[in-house]
Amino acid sequence: MLCRNKVEYRKAALDEADRICYIVQHTKAEIYPDYYTQAVVDFFSRLHSIDNIIKDIEHKRIDVLTTNGEIIGTGSHTDNHITRVYVLPEYQGQGFGSVIMNELEKEIFASYDYCELDASLPACIFYENKGYKTVKHIKYDIGNGAVKTTLIKLICGLYTPTSGYVRVFGEEPFFGKTNRHNIGLVTGQVITDGYNYHFGHSISMLDDELSLELNLELRGYFCY
Protein backbone atom coordinates (compact mmCIF):
# COMPACT_ATOMS: atom_id res chain seq x y z
CA MET A 1 0.00 0.00 0.00
CA LEU A 2 1.22 3.48 -0.90
CA CYS A 3 0.07 6.35 1.30
CA ARG A 4 1.65 9.77 0.91
CA ASN A 5 0.34 13.33 1.17
CA LYS A 6 -3.29 12.13 1.29
CA VAL A 7 -2.67 9.97 -1.81
CA GLU A 8 -3.26 6.26 -1.23
CA TYR A 9 -2.74 3.31 -3.56
CA ARG A 10 -4.24 0.01 -2.41
CA LYS A 11 -6.15 -3.10 -3.42
CA ALA A 12 -9.73 -2.52 -4.50
CA ALA A 13 -12.66 -3.73 -2.44
CA LEU A 14 -15.67 -5.43 -4.00
CA ASP A 15 -18.04 -2.62 -3.02
CA GLU A 16 -15.87 -0.22 -5.08
CA ALA A 17 -16.59 -2.00 -8.38
CA ASP A 18 -19.18 0.57 -9.50
CA ARG A 19 -16.79 3.46 -8.88
CA ILE A 20 -13.98 1.71 -10.77
CA CYS A 21 -16.31 0.96 -13.66
CA TYR A 22 -17.37 4.60 -13.74
CA ILE A 23 -13.75 5.80 -13.86
CA VAL A 24 -12.94 3.48 -16.76
CA GLN A 25 -16.09 4.11 -18.78
CA HIS A 26 -16.21 7.86 -18.14
CA THR A 27 -12.56 8.27 -19.13
CA LYS A 28 -13.13 6.32 -22.35
CA ALA A 29 -16.27 8.30 -23.18
CA GLU A 30 -14.44 11.61 -22.70
CA ILE A 31 -11.18 10.81 -24.51
CA TYR A 32 -11.54 7.87 -26.93
CA PRO A 33 -14.00 9.51 -29.41
CA ASP A 34 -11.19 11.87 -30.45
CA TYR A 35 -9.18 8.84 -31.62
CA TYR A 36 -11.66 6.08 -32.53
CA THR A 37 -15.05 5.55 -34.12
CA GLN A 38 -17.96 4.92 -31.75
CA ALA A 39 -17.99 1.22 -32.66
CA VAL A 40 -14.37 0.93 -31.50
CA VAL A 41 -15.11 2.90 -28.31
CA ASP A 42 -17.99 0.53 -27.56
CA PHE A 43 -15.73 -2.47 -28.14
CA PHE A 44 -13.16 -1.23 -25.62
CA SER A 45 -15.93 -0.42 -23.16
CA ARG A 46 -17.19 -4.00 -23.30
CA LEU A 47 -13.74 -5.27 -22.38
CA HIS A 48 -14.03 -3.42 -19.08
CA SER A 49 -17.62 -4.28 -18.18
CA ILE A 50 -18.77 -4.28 -14.59
CA ASP A 51 -18.76 -8.10 -14.63
CA ASN A 52 -15.11 -8.22 -15.71
CA ILE A 53 -14.17 -5.63 -13.12
CA ILE A 54 -15.90 -7.59 -10.34
CA LYS A 55 -14.11 -10.74 -11.45
CA ASP A 56 -10.74 -8.98 -11.35
CA ILE A 57 -11.43 -7.55 -7.89
CA GLU A 58 -12.30 -11.03 -6.63
CA HIS A 59 -8.94 -12.25 -7.94
CA LYS A 60 -7.19 -9.25 -6.33
CA ARG A 61 -5.99 -7.90 -9.69
CA ILE A 62 -7.31 -4.34 -9.33
CA ASP A 63 -5.87 -1.47 -7.30
CA VAL A 64 -7.29 1.99 -6.71
CA LEU A 65 -5.68 5.39 -6.27
CA THR A 66 -7.37 7.79 -3.89
CA THR A 67 -6.75 11.39 -2.96
CA ASN A 68 -8.45 12.92 0.06
CA GLY A 69 -10.45 9.70 0.34
CA GLU A 70 -11.87 9.85 -3.20
CA ILE A 71 -11.06 7.15 -5.77
CA ILE A 72 -9.74 8.98 -8.83
CA GLY A 73 -7.79 6.26 -10.64
CA THR A 74 -7.33 2.56 -11.02
CA GLY A 75 -4.70 0.11 -12.20
CA SER A 76 -4.65 -3.64 -12.68
CA HIS A 77 -2.49 -6.43 -14.00
CA THR A 78 -2.71 -10.14 -14.72
CA ASP A 79 0.65 -11.77 -14.13
CA ASN A 80 3.11 -9.43 -15.89
CA HIS A 81 0.51 -7.90 -18.22
CA ILE A 82 -0.79 -4.45 -17.24
CA THR A 83 -4.46 -4.44 -18.19
CA ARG A 84 -5.78 -1.10 -16.89
CA VAL A 85 -4.39 2.33 -16.10
CA TYR A 86 -7.12 4.96 -15.82
CA VAL A 87 -7.28 8.35 -14.17
CA LEU A 88 -10.35 10.57 -14.29
CA PRO A 89 -9.87 13.26 -16.98
CA GLU A 90 -10.05 16.13 -14.47
CA TYR A 91 -7.12 14.64 -12.53
CA GLN A 92 -4.90 13.86 -15.52
CA GLY A 93 -1.63 15.73 -16.06
CA GLN A 94 -0.86 15.80 -12.33
CA GLY A 95 1.33 12.70 -12.08
CA PHE A 96 -1.34 10.30 -10.84
CA GLY A 97 -0.95 8.03 -13.87
CA SER A 98 2.76 7.71 -13.13
CA VAL A 99 1.99 6.80 -9.51
CA ILE A 100 -0.25 3.96 -10.70
CA MET A 101 2.34 2.75 -13.20
CA ASN A 102 5.14 2.81 -10.62
CA GLU A 103 3.11 0.72 -8.21
CA LEU A 104 2.04 -1.77 -10.89
CA GLU A 105 5.63 -2.17 -12.04
CA LYS A 106 6.77 -2.69 -8.47
CA GLU A 107 4.25 -5.51 -8.03
CA ILE A 108 5.15 -7.13 -11.36
CA PHE A 109 8.95 -6.88 -11.01
CA ALA A 110 8.72 -8.70 -7.70
CA SER A 111 7.95 -11.86 -9.71
CA TYR A 112 8.85 -11.15 -13.34
CA ASP A 113 11.77 -9.77 -15.33
CA TYR A 114 9.63 -7.52 -17.52
CA CYS A 115 6.09 -6.22 -17.89
CA GLU A 116 3.95 -5.69 -20.96
CA LEU A 117 0.75 -3.86 -21.87
CA ASP A 118 -1.59 -3.03 -24.73
CA ALA A 119 -1.58 0.72 -25.38
CA SER A 120 -4.50 2.69 -26.76
CA LEU A 121 -3.78 5.58 -29.13
CA PRO A 122 -4.29 8.35 -26.54
CA ALA A 123 -1.93 6.62 -24.09
CA CYS A 124 0.96 5.79 -26.43
CA ILE A 125 3.03 8.89 -25.66
CA PHE A 126 2.54 8.40 -21.92
CA TYR A 127 3.95 4.87 -22.08
CA GLU A 128 6.77 5.82 -24.44
CA ASN A 129 7.84 8.56 -22.03
CA LYS A 130 8.07 5.88 -19.36
CA GLY A 131 10.44 3.83 -21.52
CA TYR A 132 8.05 1.37 -23.15
CA LYS A 133 8.67 0.33 -26.75
CA THR A 134 6.23 -0.99 -29.35
CA VAL A 135 7.01 -4.64 -30.08
CA LYS A 136 3.98 -5.53 -32.21
CA HIS A 137 0.60 -4.30 -33.39
CA ILE A 138 -2.50 -6.32 -32.57
CA LYS A 139 -5.66 -6.45 -34.67
CA TYR A 140 -8.99 -6.94 -32.88
CA ASP A 141 -12.17 -8.14 -34.54
CA ILE A 142 -14.78 -5.71 -33.20
CA GLY A 143 -17.63 -7.03 -35.32
CA ASN A 144 -19.85 -5.05 -37.65
CA GLY A 145 -20.40 -1.32 -37.44
CA ALA A 146 -16.83 -0.03 -37.38
CA VAL A 147 -17.50 1.84 -40.68
CA LYS A 148 -14.10 0.88 -42.10
CA THR A 149 -15.54 -0.22 -45.46
CA THR A 150 -17.84 2.80 -45.61
CA LEU A 151 -14.92 5.14 -45.00
CA ILE A 152 -12.87 3.48 -47.75
CA LYS A 153 -15.75 3.83 -50.19
CA LEU A 154 -16.20 7.49 -49.26
CA ILE A 155 -12.51 8.18 -49.86
CA CYS A 156 -12.63 6.39 -53.21
CA GLY A 157 -15.74 8.27 -54.32
CA LEU A 158 -17.96 5.18 -54.41
CA TYR A 159 -20.33 6.72 -51.84
CA THR A 160 -21.46 10.29 -51.22
CA PRO A 161 -21.58 11.34 -47.53
CA THR A 162 -25.03 11.83 -46.02
CA SER A 163 -23.60 14.57 -43.81
CA GLY A 164 -20.29 16.38 -43.49
CA TYR A 165 -17.73 16.11 -46.27
CA VAL A 166 -14.64 14.21 -47.43
CA ARG A 167 -11.72 15.88 -49.17
CA VAL A 168 -8.99 14.04 -51.08
CA PHE A 169 -6.34 16.22 -52.72
CA GLY A 170 -8.64 19.17 -52.05
CA GLU A 171 -11.62 17.72 -53.92
CA GLU A 172 -14.73 15.75 -53.04
CA PRO A 173 -13.88 12.26 -54.37
CA PHE A 174 -17.35 11.57 -55.77
CA PHE A 175 -17.37 14.71 -57.90
CA GLY A 176 -13.65 15.39 -58.34
CA LYS A 177 -12.93 13.06 -61.24
CA THR A 178 -9.57 14.69 -62.04
CA ASN A 179 -7.91 13.28 -58.92
CA ARG A 180 -9.41 9.80 -59.00
CA HIS A 181 -6.42 8.45 -60.92
CA ASN A 182 -4.32 9.29 -57.84
CA ILE A 183 -6.28 6.85 -55.67
CA GLY A 184 -5.40 3.17 -55.66
CA LEU A 185 -7.45 0.66 -53.67
CA VAL A 186 -6.14 -2.81 -52.90
CA THR A 187 -8.37 -4.91 -50.66
CA GLY A 188 -8.27 -8.48 -49.44
CA GLN A 189 -11.59 -9.11 -51.18
CA VAL A 190 -13.40 -7.82 -54.23
CA ILE A 191 -15.62 -4.96 -53.10
CA THR A 192 -19.09 -5.11 -54.63
CA ASP A 193 -22.42 -3.50 -53.84
CA GLY A 194 -24.93 -6.31 -53.57
CA TYR A 195 -23.31 -8.71 -56.07
CA ASN A 196 -21.03 -11.61 -55.27
CA TYR A 197 -19.02 -12.31 -58.37
CA HIS A 198 -17.03 -15.12 -56.81
CA PHE A 199 -19.70 -17.14 -55.03
CA GLY A 200 -18.59 -16.23 -51.54
CA HIS A 201 -14.88 -16.90 -51.98
CA SER A 202 -12.37 -14.25 -50.91
CA ILE A 203 -10.32 -13.17 -53.93
CA SER A 204 -7.16 -11.19 -53.24
CA MET A 205 -6.63 -8.15 -55.45
CA LEU A 206 -2.91 -8.12 -54.72
CA ASP A 207 -0.50 -9.19 -57.42
CA ASP A 208 2.22 -11.15 -55.61
CA GLU A 209 4.74 -10.28 -58.33
CA LEU A 210 4.39 -6.50 -57.78
CA SER A 211 5.44 -4.21 -54.96
CA LEU A 212 2.78 -2.51 -52.84
CA GLU A 213 3.44 0.80 -54.62
CA LEU A 214 3.02 -0.80 -58.05
CA ASN A 215 -0.11 -2.62 -56.89
CA LEU A 216 -1.65 0.68 -55.81
CA GLU A 217 -0.57 2.42 -59.01
CA LEU A 218 -1.95 -0.37 -61.19
CA ARG A 219 -5.29 -0.57 -59.35
CA GLY A 220 -5.66 3.20 -59.40
CA TYR A 221 -5.01 3.24 -63.15
CA PHE A 222 -7.57 0.56 -63.98
CA CYS A 223 -10.26 1.74 -61.54
CA TYR A 224 -10.67 5.17 -63.05
Residues facing residue 70 across a β-bridge:
67
pLDDT tens for the 224 residues of the chain, in order: 554 558 999 999 999 999 999 999 999 999 998 888 888 888 888 889 999 999 999 999 999 999 999 999 999 999 999 999 999 999 999 999 999 999 999 999 999 999 999 888 888 889 988 999 888 776 666 665 555 566 777 777 766 666 677 777 777 766 555 556 666 666 554 444 343 333 334 445 566 677 767 766 666 555 44
Residue type, 163: S
Class of domain 2-129: alpha beta
Query: What is the model's pLDDT at position 186?
Result: 60
Query: What global pTM score does this model have?
Result: 0.63
Sheet containing 81-87: order of strands: 2-4, 7-11, 62-67, 70-78, 81-87, 116-117
Query: What is the model's pLDDT at position 202?
Result: 43
Sign of CA dihedral 188, 189, 192, 193: negative
Query: What is the model's pLDDT at position 144?
Result: 57
Q: d(Cα 144, Cα 150) in Å, to the nearest integer?
A: 11
Q: Locate the domains of the chain by residue range.
A: 2-129, 152-224
Query: What is the model's pLDDT at position 191?
Result: 41
Q: d(Cα 20, Cα 15) in Å, to the nearest integer?
A: 10
